[in-house]
Structure 1
Amino acid sequence: MARTRAPDHEAQRDQILELAAAKFAQTSYPSTSMADLAAASGTSKARLYHYYESKEAILFDLLDRYTLRLMLIIAEVEGSSQRRGLSERQTFAELIRAFLAEYETSHSRHIALLNDVKYLVDTQREVILDRQRDVVAAFARQLSRAYPERVTKENQTSVTMMVFGMINWTFTWLKPGGRLRYEDFAAQVVDMLEHGLAAPGDAA
């Protein structure tokens, strides 16, 4: 007879993933053992194995849930913008704000996404890489809709990656609770896209 899951099973898994992400970010995924993860979770290794069969399973679930969350944010922004009648530029600005709001509370998960996908087995790696490609494709699609006169078939990829270059590495310098708030930085990114650095009337 299969063991019945405790009512807080998913909550326990969520907590394990949160603490594991922080531990991977602190000591690196290769250097972290199941014993380290158990200690970080305040539990025994045997109890940790009750929730996850391996460190690799923890990493995949962590990245699987996080990339699904990013895809959900895109769908939520697109749906909400359509219901509210926002313009394409307003929709892309909302997307920037939504992603930076997520990044503010997902530092360690984002580090794992950027650094640790290569440690997954091939089939799992492809799942995560496909989701990352979908995220990039969604940004490229929205960016070209927002700035059709500026974003062309020829430069769509490079411009899209410029945007990710502005927001994807905030975990290295933009700290929650710091002098610059994430929402203020989002406004700066949107303003950069809208106006660049040149002051009105400046000549090249």
Structure 2
Amino acid sequence: MARTRAPDHEAQREQILELAAAKFAQTSYPSTSMADLAAASGTSKARLYHYYDSKEAILFDLLDRYTKRLMLIIAEVEGSSQRRGLSERETFAELVRAFLAEYETSHSRHVALLNDVKYLVETQREIVLDRQRDIVAAFARQLARAYPERVTNDNQTPLTMMVFGMINWTFTWLRPGGRLGYQDFAAQVIDVLERGLRASVATP
């Protein structure tokens, strides 16, 4: 007979993932053992194995859930913007704000997404990489809708990656509770895009 899961099983897994992400960011994924993760979670290795059968399983669940969360944010922003009658430009601004709001509370998970995908087995790695490609494609699509007069087939990818370059590395310097808040920074990013992309193309 299969063992019945405790009512808090999912909450325990989420807590393990949060603490594991912090540990991976602190000591690197390759240098972290199941014993280290058990200690960080305040539990025993035996109990940790009750939830995950390996360090690799923890990493995949961490990245799988996080990329699903980012895709859900995109869907939520697009759906909410449509219901509220926002313009395409306003929708893209909402997308930037929503991602930075998520990044504010997901420092360690974001570090794992940027640094540790390569440690997954191929089948799992492709799942996460495909979802990352979908995220980039969604940003590119919405950016083109927001600034159709400036975004072309030739520059769509560079401009999209420019946006990610501005927001994806905030964990290295932007601290929650600091003088510059995440939403303040989002406003600055949006202002830079507005000033740079809404202008007419300059004549050489």
- Partner residue in 2 for 1:188: 188
Q: Distance in 2 between matches of 1:41 and 1:177?
A: 25
Structure 2 distance, partners of 1:27, 1:177, is: 24
1:174 deviates by 0.2
Taking the aligned partners of 1:196 and 1:154, their CA distance within structure 2 comes to 17
Give 1:196 shift. 3.4
Matches within 5 A, 1:1-204: 1-196=1-196
Q: CA RMSD in A?
A: 1.1
CA distance in 1 between counterparts of 2:185 and 2:150 reads 23
1:30-60 deviation per Cα after TM superposition (whole angstroms, max 9, x unaligned): 0000000000000000000000000000000
1:167 Cα deviation from its structure 2 partner: 0.1
Deviation per CA, 1:130-182: give whole Å up to 9, x if none: 00000000000000000001110000000000000000000000000100000
List alignment gaps of at least 5 residues for structure 1: 198-203
TM superposition score normalised by structure 2: 0.96
Q: TM-score normalized by structure 1?
A: 0.96
How many aligned positions are there?
198
Structure 1 stretches of at least 4 aligned residues deviating more than 3 Å after TM superposition: none
Letter in 2 for 1:174: L
